[in-house]
């Protein structure tokens, strides 16, 4: 898909990416909150942590879990 352009690129992109409608964004928000709370529960009070690393881990989990949901729903 990286080398496609124009209408073909748009069609392939739409096939791979779920639309960002209001109800879908709400689900993304719920998933991000859930994963963020899990990640925060692993932190220790008064112990330093690297925020960039933590947010990368959170977003990777969001991507992986959303991908698994999309696969189950759309069979992609």
Q: Which helix (H) or strand (E) holds 15?
A: helix 6-16
Tokens 């992986």 belong to 64
Residue 14 lies in a domain: no
Residue 59 lies in a domain: yes
Host domain of residue 60:
23-74
Residue 1 lies in a domain: no
- Convert the pLDDT of each residue in 30-73 to its tens digit: 889 999 999 999 999 999 999 999 999 999 998 888 766 655 44
Q: How many domains does the chain have?
A: 1
Look at residue 67 in the predicted model and tell me its pLDDT: 66
CB 58, CB 42: distance < 8 Å? no
Residue 66 lies in a domain: yes
Residue 45, phi then psi, degrees to nearest 5: -60, 140
Residue 4 lies in a domain: no
């Amino acid at each position: 898909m990286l080398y496609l352009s124009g209408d073909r690129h748009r069609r392939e992109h739409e096939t791979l990416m779920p639309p960002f409608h209001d109800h879908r964004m709400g689900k993304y928000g719920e998933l991000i909150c859930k994963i963020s709370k899990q990640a925060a529960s692993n932190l220790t009070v008064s112990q330093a942590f690297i925020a960039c690393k933590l947010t990368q881990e959170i977003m990777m989990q969001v991507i992986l879990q959303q991908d698994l949901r999309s696969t189950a729903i759309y069979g992609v």
